[in-house]
Every structure is written in C-alpha cells, then in structure tokens.
Amino acid sequence: MSEHKGPVGLMSSAVAPAKEPNAMGPREVELVLVKEQNGVQLTNSTLINPAPGPAEAQERETWGKKIDFLLSVIGFAVDLANVWRFPYLCYKNGGGAFLVPYLLFMVIAGMPLFYMELALGQFNREGAAGVWKICPILKGVGFTVILISLYVGFFYNVIIAWALHYFFSSFAAELPWTHCNNTWNSPYCTDAPAGNASDGPGLNSTFGTTPAAEYFERGVLHLHLSRGIDDLGPPRWQLTACLVLVIVLLYFSLWKGVKTSGKVVWITATMPYVVLTALLLRGLTLPGAIDGIWAYLSVDFYRLCEASVWIDAATQVCFSLGVGFGVLIAFSSYNKFTNNCYRDAILTTSINSLTSFSSGFVVFSFLGYMAQKHSVPIGDVAKDGPGLIFIIYPEAIATLPLSSAWAVVFFIMLLTLGLDSAMGGMESVITGLIDEFQLLHRHRELFTLCIVLGTFLLSLFCVTNGGIYVFTLLDHFAAGTSILFGVLIEAIGVAWFYGVQQFSDDIKQMTGRRPSLYWRLCWKLVSPCFLLFVVVVSVVTFRPPHYGTYVFPTWANALGWVVATSSMAMVPIYAAYKFCSFPGSFREKLAQAITPEKDRELVNRGEVRQFTARAGAALFASHRRSRHSEGYRSLVLRAHAPPGTQGRRQQDAQVPILGNVLDFSVALHLTSTDGSASVSDGAFSAGARCCLCPCEQAAIHVAHSCFSFATLRVPDPEQLSCLCPADLVSLPGLPATHLGSQPNFHGCQHRALLRHVLERLCSSQA
C-alpha cells in the first residue's frame, strides 16, 4: 500500500520537491529540517538528485463516489440502538430535557472524536492498527478496537438472523405471534390484554405472557429448552439457516472492498429512512399516538439534577456514533487525500443525532397506541433493547390492518440497519489486518471469507436453545468498558503523544484549513476528560448481567471479564513488546517508541545521529515553540560525499542563530557539482508570517566532507525578498559579482537566518 509521503508540519510543505532520481554523478547536498519532539531531535529532509529508492507501493483503493463513503458512515453510525435505545433513554430521563446533556456531550466530545477518527484514517491511509505509526508504542490500541469489532460480530450477526427469521415469518397469512394456538405456546399464554401485568404487555407477568413474547422466547429462541448458560443445547436449524444467509450477504458485500460495499449501502443506508417515514405516517393515525409522542417529548428539567441522566447521555453519545470500533478510521482511509473530512464529520454526526431523535416519534406513536389499547400507562410498555423490536413492536403491528405487509416493511428496516453496522464492523477488522500484514492484502477475498466464516462458527453458540444467555453475556462485556477504554487511549495518543499541533498540521495539509482553537481544545482537554469520566462511571456503576430473572453464575461473569480484558490487554502487551524491541537505554527506548515512524525512519537511515531524550521528561518534554506552530527548530545543511569517497572523514560544525524556522516558507536547495556548492532556488516567502523570536535559540549544523564551499551563487536573488543586500555583500569570502543585479529587497528578521548560513558556508573553505 502506498503511504502518503506528505511533508511533516507547516515547515516541510514549503520545501521544494526533489528532482527525479539520478544514479550518475555525485550525490547532492540536502536540506534537512530539524525539530525536537518529546526530547528527540527529528528531521524531514529534501535530497536533491537522491539515489534511487524502492518503487512506490500500489496505489490505495478509493471510494467510487463521495456519496458511497457518506452512506457507509451514516449506515454504520445509524444502527439498531438508534431505534431501541435513544427514544427510551429520552423518555426515561425527562423527555426533552434529556436533549440538553445529550447535545452538550455531542458537541464537546462526540463530534470532536468523530472528526478525529475521520482525519486520522484519511491522512495515514491505513486501518485501525496501521494509523498508529504516529506513536508506535500505542499500536496496541489498534488491535484492541479490531478485537472488539470481531467480538461484536459474534453476536451482532445474530440480531440480523433474528430479524431475518421474523421477516420470513411475516409472509404467513396470519402472523404467528398473534394468538396462542401454536405448538410452542405454553399454558400461560393469553390473548387477553395484560392490564394488571407487573411487567407490562408483551413481557412475562404474573397473570401470563402475550403471544408476541412467547413467539420470541419459545418460537424463535426455544429458551424454554435451556436451564441456563451451562445448558445451551444444539443450534436451532432455522436460526442457523438465517445466520448462513446473513454471512453470505456480508461476504459478497465486502469481498471486493469498498467498490462493492459502497454500492450496497445505496440500499441498506437509505431504506431505513423510507421505512421510518412510512411507519411514522402510519403511527400518527393510530389512537393514542399523540399521547405517546407527548410522553416522549414532555420536559422535566428537574431530572437534570440527577447524575444518572448525565451518565446516560454520556454513554449514549459514546456508543451511538460508533467511535472506537475502528470503522470510521477504516472507511476514511479509502478517501481521497484532499477530501474535506471536517464537513463529513459535521454532516454525519448531525444526521445520526437527527435520526435518533426522529425515530422516537415512530417508536412512541406505536407505544402510545399500545398503552391505550391495553389501558396501561406508557411506562409499562416503554422498554429498550431487543424486547422492544422483537416483542412490543411486532405485537403492535399485528393489530393493524394489512399487518403482514407492515411486518415485512418493519423487518426490512431492521435487516438493513443491522447489515450496515455489521458490514462496518467486518470492514474494520479486514482493513485493519490487511493493512498491517501485506500478505493478506494480496488475498483479500480469501481472508474476508475466513473472517466471516470464523464469526459464523462462533455465532452458532448464540443460536442454540440457551443462545440468548451467550448473547447477553457478550453484549454486556465485549464492547462496554473496553471500547470506552480504547477511545480514551486513542484520544490521549493523538492529542498528547502525537500532538494536537502536528495533528492540526496534518488536517491543514489535507483540507487546506487548520482546525480552529475550539477543536484543538476539545482534542487536547475536553474529550480526554469526558472519556475518563465515562470510563470511571462505567466501572463504578457496573452491574453483573442478567436476562429477565436469570442470574448468571460466577464462572460466566469471570468469562465475560476475560473477554473484556483480552481486548484491553492489547495496549500494555504491545507497548511492552515495542519498547523492548528498540535498542539503547531506557530513555532512548522510550523516545523511539513514542516517535512517529516517518521521523524514526530518518534515524534508521543514519540521517540523524542524535537521538536522545531529556532526563525525566521523555514523555512530556516542554519545549519553547512558536505560538503559530509546533515545528522545526533548526536547519541542517548536509553535504553527501561523491561516490568513491565514503571513507573520507565527515565533520560537523555548529553555529547558533537567533530564531527558528517555523511558519515562514523556505525553499532552499544546496547542490554540489565538481567541488563547489551553490544556493539555488532560495526563497523566503515575503507574504509568510514572520515568527523569528530573539528569545529562542536554534542551530545550523553544517556537515562538510570531501569538497569545499568555494563558490556561492544566488541565480535568482529577486526571490530573496526578505533580505537586505548589505547583509549578503558584507559576508566574508562572498564575491559580490555572484549576487547579480541589485534586487528589491525588503529587510526583516528572516535575513538573520540566511546570513548565518552563508557566514558558515563561506568560512568553511578555510
């Protein structure tokens, strides 16, 4: 795969590109920009006429159309939880008042994290693991999110299989969950409204169960044949067949990459909106619908004084957008490099929130109808989770005219919602691993088949008689605290290890626009603090899972924690491995482990010999920076010896100068020909922002080997618009004739930089 070879930071974007490789003749002098990051001296160099390098890797695949990417992101983010969880949380936590903490957390944390992942994937053009070349020691975060996505695939595909089972059952002349005359019904099944039921209609109650509840638990799951998680029984052939069909759909949607999945989402991402609109129009005509919507929107601002409301809002924001699963990184890695990821982030997060809010009108119009039909409060029928979409909603649809048609439409919506999210999760795993292991990239179709078959085999545990217990256990542990932990480490890694300034430079390089102070503050402070709060709350408020009245045994909870910690453990395990793989002292190991690979490659090639960390401050070395940029601290002018002179001793010299080279444009090439050096295409942009600071010190390292700097030429002095001609003419050893005609120079602080460069070069011949 090709990696974007863009320059690092603001400074490097101004360095003129190298000429075409030429294997003949002496090697040229290069311009090296040096910066200090985490106490390590790093460089980005431009070598004129460099030696031929390895051939570029194959160009990365991109989306066929921009809309393919947008629909894929929207389809993944808008999932079943938007239908079954957000409306219930809104009703439970003060109705419209719940929107206050929800929107607040969405703006200060949800959108910034969403934007961060899109930009991270698009700039680095790799999956969840590969992007951590920005901070190799945290690459375990990538494997954490890949493993979590794999775990989620084990049980999420089962939800789609349930929906598919219901979809096929909806073609019956009479919906099978409308009466108690089926073979799976128990003596406790009752067709009468459960007005005095303790748990509300559709659920187990003191006086009996509804046909819809028994169809789900006994007709589909066959839960009555299992005593618990230690008595799973064999897989049910009906659900297994549905699961096979789901796997086939996923495989042929993913096997060719985004070229195929980008076309599938045209149906799967748009169909839910068509169905939701149809259901809303139908729901508004039902008796009691207005009461349901009023209950959904009724505002109780006193609930905002309760901590649980803010906790629910925070967790909903984290899970509803899908950050931390590696899907956004994988999808955006297939974007064009110059794609406007900022606009995409704002658009898709807004659509996600609006969809969640709008789905509440659909859900509560039907819940209001059910409450009036059974003469119970809306609170008795307002539930979240699978019980809402597989018990309450089917029961409501069964009472409508043309109930079979409406059931088909409803379960088509569930199928498309589920397939979108499942495709995203699988793509995260596939992209993350094939980018990391190039052998897999050449066999994508076969590897995709192995992934979907692996998820199918493990999903079989969830379609047994007691499969709902396995499903509940995985749902509770696989992507709870672990995904929040992964996002927290991801945010810290980008904002504090890689650096918000450098990350902002990357975004500017892609979009031409630097993120505003608001986004940088959110990435640096607000989002990490928000995530830390959510992680702590999730641990403090943890409750063991249960299904109805069934309590999981101790060994099952222990197994659940093994699943949760197995993904989180990837972070310290890989960090320890990466740390130990580097040579040197503890500080040197740490410095290399937190240094972006694009900078460390220069070290490995010997272009930077100084690679040290400041004592006691390897992680957070404070360094005086320009207020405009985190940039380069000095210029290195390195002369490469011509062929045949490799044994010549190379000497380094230092000369201090005032200021640094951070925010103004430099395109300075030094070329060596026949023992002479020339300054060509030298330019200090007149319109660039001057950032030289007399309080800061930088250094120019002049490496000279087999030739002397006998001649300095400035063929186009008009470009040196920031320099005073007197500074050049007065330099010792510089023939004035080489300055050409008198240019129209404008003095400024930039002249100090080139003056010291020329002084050193001119004196080096001595």
Residues making up the binding site for Na(+)? 75, 77-78, 82, 320, 352, 417, 420-421
Structure tokens at 378: 């809306």
Return the amino acid letter for 321: L
Specify binding-site residues: 75, 77-78, 82, 320, 352, 417, 420-421
Residues 70, 348: contact at Cβ < 8 Å? yes
Q: Tokens 């490995």 belong to which residue?
A: 604
Q: Which long-range contacts (CB under 8 A, 24 or more apart) does 18-26 make?
A: 18/46, 18/47, 18/48, 18/49, 18/50, 19/48, 19/49, 21/49, 21/50, 21/51, 21/52, 21/53, 22/49, 23/51, 23/52, 25/49, 25/642, 25/673, 26/640, 26/641, 26/642, 26/643, 26/672, 26/673
User: What tokens appear for 335 in the block?
Assistant: 């974007």
Quote the tokens at residue 442.
């050449």
Asked if 262 and 68 touch (Cβ cutoff 8 Å), the reply is yes
Q: Residue 91 corresponds to which amino acid? A: Y
Burial 169-179, CB ≥16 within 10 A → b, else e: bbeeeebbbbe
Using alpha carbons only, what angle is made at residue 195 by residues 191 and 196, rounded to the nearest 5 degrees?
Answer: 115
- 94 neighbors 304 (Cβ within 8 angstroms): yes
Distance CA 216, CA 218 (A): 6
Is the separation of the CB atoms in 686 and 741 below 8 Å?
A: no
Comparing CA positions, the residue from 379, 385, 328, 383 lying closest to residue 352 is 328
Reading the block at residue 754, the tokens are: 């080139």
| Contact indicator for 136, 436 with CB cutoff of 8 Å | no
E strand or H helix at 166, and its extent?
helix 140-169
DSSP state string for 682-720: --B-TTSPP---TT-EEEEEEEE-SS-------S-GGG-
